[in-house]
Structure formats: C-alpha cells, structure tokens
Structure 1
Amino acid sequence: MTDYRTVGLVHLFIAALSVLVPLAGAVVAGTFLRRRGRNARLAMIGCLVTAPGPVVLVLGTGFGLDTVFAGADPLVALTVVSGIATLFHLAGFVLILAGALGAPAAPAALQAPYPYAAPFHVYPTDAPPGPQGH
C-alpha cells in the first residue's frame, strides 16, 4: 500500500529543489556581473526565467486541473500544464546557453585611481640636503 503523505512530501521536496537551484544559479551569476558583464546577465535572467516552471507545474496540478479544465480529459489538462512549464524551462535554458556561449566581454579600460591626479610638487624645504650641507 502506498503512503500518499510520504509521496507528497517527496514531491514537494523535489519541487522545492527545482525552484531553489535556478535561484541559486541566479545569485551566482549575479556575483559575476562585474567581471563577465552581458554573459552573466543573460545567465542570471535565464535562471530567473527557469524558476517559475516548477511552480506552474505544481500549482497547476495541485489546484487547477479540475477547475480550469473542467470539460477536458485529465491527461490533456496535465499535458497543457506541463507544456506551459516546459516553455519556462526552454526559454531559461536558451538564455543560459546564450550567456555561456557568448563572446566574452572586452575587459574594461584601466582608470586612474583618482579622476584628477595632480603632480606632486617638491618645495625647497622638502628637498634633501645637497653636497654643500644645505
């Protein structure tokens, strides 16, 4: 006999991982924004686009199959909800690949530490004593 409570908890754990892993990927990609530029931004957006897919699948199957698709066969309803979730996954995957396979950003030009670097002036009192002992 199947313990449906255990199966439900395992399903919830898998769904939570399916949402948390792309969010963790977005955080990691966000830490590389300064170094990687556009590529990291594409990867971060791809991770954020991927994250709602499992939410749509879990909420669609848990709450809406019989109400939204009242006149349809449950298998057809599940296929439609899975298709919507798959669109999120595919769009995110394409963005992640675009970020990973894109040309690397050109390194930023080096800048002076200060916008205006005034020359150092040596005043006569700062000069070391010369050979005559001044």
Structure 2
Amino acid sequence: MTDYRTVGLIHLFIAGVSVLTPLIGAVVAGTHIRRRGRNARLAMIGCLVTAPGPIVLVLGAGIGLDSLFAGVEPLVALSVVSAISVLFQLAGLVLILAGALTEPARPAAYQAPYPYAAPFHVYPTDAPPGH
C-alpha cells in the first residue's frame, strides 16, 4: 500500500529544491556582477526566469488539474501545465548559457585624468605682481 503522505512530502522536498536552486544561482551570479559584468547579469536574469517553472508545475498540480481544465482529460491538462513550466526553464537556460558562453566585455582603455602632457604649475597667489 502506498503511503501518500510520504510521497507528498518527497514531492514537496523535490519542488522546494527545484525552486531554491535557481534562486541560489541568482544570488551567486549577483555577487559576481562587479567582476563579470554583463555575463553575470545575464546568468542572474536566467536564474530568475527559471525559478517560476517549478512553481507553475507544483501549483498547477496542487490546485487540481480538473478545476483548471474542466473539459479536458487530466493527461492533456498536465501536459499543458508542464509545457508552460518548460517554457520558463528553457528561457532561463538560454540566458544562463548566453552569460556563460559569451566573451566578457573588455575593460575600457585607460585615459589620463588630464588631456595635457605637461603637469600643471601652481603659482602662489600671494606673490606681488610681476615677480
């Protein structure tokens, strides 16, 4: 006999890990934005786009597919909810890969603080004129 409470807890644990993993990835990518720039920003956005995928799947199955899709078979309804979830995950994966595989931006060329080659001379203002 199947213990549905245990199966439900295992499903809840897996769903929690599925939601927390991209959020942790977003935090890690966010900490590297200063060093990695645009690439880390793309990875962070990709992780945030990926996070709603499991939420849609869990809420779709948790609310009840029969109430969401009254006139459709349960397998078709589950396929629709899974397809919506996969769209989030694929969009996030594309952004993460774009951040990981693109070449980092080159730093700007160094510019001197002043356009003059010679240093500025400071003249005392309390000296008498003409000296």
State how far apart, in whole Å, the 2-side matches of 1:86 and 1:60 are. 13
**Structure 1 alignment gaps of length 5 or more:** 113-118, 122-134
State how far apart, in whole Å, the 1-side matches of 2:47 and 2:23 are. 6
> Which position in structure 1 is the counterpart of 2:55?
55
> Which position in structure 2 is the counterpart of 1:105?
105
Moved beyond 4 Å, runs of 4+: 108-112
Q: Deviations over 1:56-110 (max 9, x none)?
A: 0000011041111000000000000000000000000000000000111212556
> Which position in structure 2 is the counterpart of 1:21?
21
**Structure 2 alignment gaps of length 5 or more:** 113-119, 123-131
What is the RMSD of the two structures over their aligned residues, measured on CA atoms?
A: 2.1
Aligned residues: 117
> Which position in structure 2 is the counterpart of 1:30?
30
TM-score where L is the length of structure 1: 0.80
> Which position in structure 1 is the counterpart of 2:129?
none
Return the letter of the residue paired with 1:80: V
> Which position in structure 1 is the counterpart of 2:88?
88
Equivalent pairs: percent with the same residue? Answer: 77
State how far apart, in whole Å, the 1-side matches of 2:63 and 2:24 are. 27
> Which position in structure 2 is the counterpart of 1:74?
74
State how far apart, in whole Å, the 1-side matches of 2:27 and 2:81 are. 28
State how far apart, in whole Å, the 2-side matches of 1:96 and 1:107 are. 22
